[in-house]
Amino acid sequence: MNISPKFLRLGSICCFITAITTLGIHLYFKDPPEDFEQRILLFRNKTYLVNRWWVIAHCSLVIVSMWAFALIQFKKAPGFSGLGFLFFAVFGIAEITRQMYVLYYLNELREQYFMTADPVVKQGLKQSITSAGLLAAPLFGVFIFSFGLGNLCYGLSLFDGKGFDRLLSLSFII
């Protein structure tokens, strides 16, 4: 298989940028408030909205960089590298879906709740908003599970290596 050096460069750049976007997700952006009424206003919070798109961009970059890794490793360990990429793709798709759900469904419910004065409608919307986690939580579970299996498979694809490959293998597995 002939791998384009331009694509490998793109994959490397994406990998580097994922380190930066990971730091942004975990260090820069604050956790949303716990109070229901404060959470309703998140649909207007520019930082919160940027954070959702930031996570989507991060996951897209991970998918590209992990595909580049899989292409490199495929000759040495096609089974583990192929499965590893599959799991990373599922990880990315699950998290992108979860963020789109927040941006286009949950935020719409929040806005409707904020705009309505009818207490009956407000109560129904509150119930829908409160139970939105019933879909978001399983998607987060798929995200965590797939990420772990992707790392494990990539670690196993490098396990027989020496030097940096062995160190990278252990890092993926741990």
* pTM tops 0.75: yes
CA angle 38, 128, 139 (to 5 degrees): 90
Residue ranges of domains in the chain: 5-173
Confidence of residue 161 (pLDDT cuts 50, 70, 90): confident
Q: Flag whether pLDDT at 24 surpasses 90.
A: no
* 29 has pLDDT over 90: no
Residue 31's pLDDT is 83
For the stretch 89-145, pLDDT in tens is 999 999 999 999 999 999 999 999 999 999 999 999 999 999 998 999 999 999 999
